[in-house]
Amino acid sequence: MDNRLLLAQARKAIAFQIAQSPANVSVAMPTQVSDGYGGYMDDPSGAHTDVTERGRISHERSGVNVVGQVPSGLDTSLTLWYLGPSTCIFQTDDILTHTDTGTVYKLGARDELRKFGGIQAVQFPLYPAGSVPS
């Protein structure tokens, strides 16, 4: 069965979800230069290129709701997440800057959301990075 149309529809649903609460973000990626053998390597001078993308930053539960007694007060089981399109090139441990607010985060483990034989979207847990040296 050909699932390309189903995958395209799933990606459109993610794009709609991102459009509901978009966040412009950027990550400083090392500039790639020719290695002289037909491949590429990181620029030895340490130059970086800012890669920008539109995604969604949201608070969500880090686990399944558990039925039982819970203390009253603030619920601290919410985790901050970044949801990006299937074309996202960000990787685990990249430093992400929310360009609208200037907030800096470190990306957690990359999770590719797979459905219908392809990547529907990617998501990362976000950890406040504060002042991270570039």
In tens digits, the chain (134 residues) has pLDDT values of: 688 999 999 999 999 999 998 999 999 888 888 888 999 888 888 788 888 999 999 887 655 555 555 555 555 556 889 999 999 989 998 889 998 888 899 999 999 999 898 999 999 999 988 755 55
Q: Contacts for 6-14 with beta carbons within 8 Å, 24 or more apart? A: 6/115, 6/116, 7/115, 7/116, 7/117, 7/118, 7/120, 10/115, 10/116, 10/120, 11/85, 11/86, 11/120, 11/121, 14/83, 14/85, 14/86, 14/113, 14/120, 14/121
45 in a structural domain: no
64 in a structural domain: no
What is the domain range of residue 90?
1-27+50-59+80-134
42 in a structural domain: no
pTM: 0.76
116 in a structural domain: yes
35 in a structural domain: no
40 in a structural domain: no
2 in a structural domain: yes
91 in a structural domain: yes
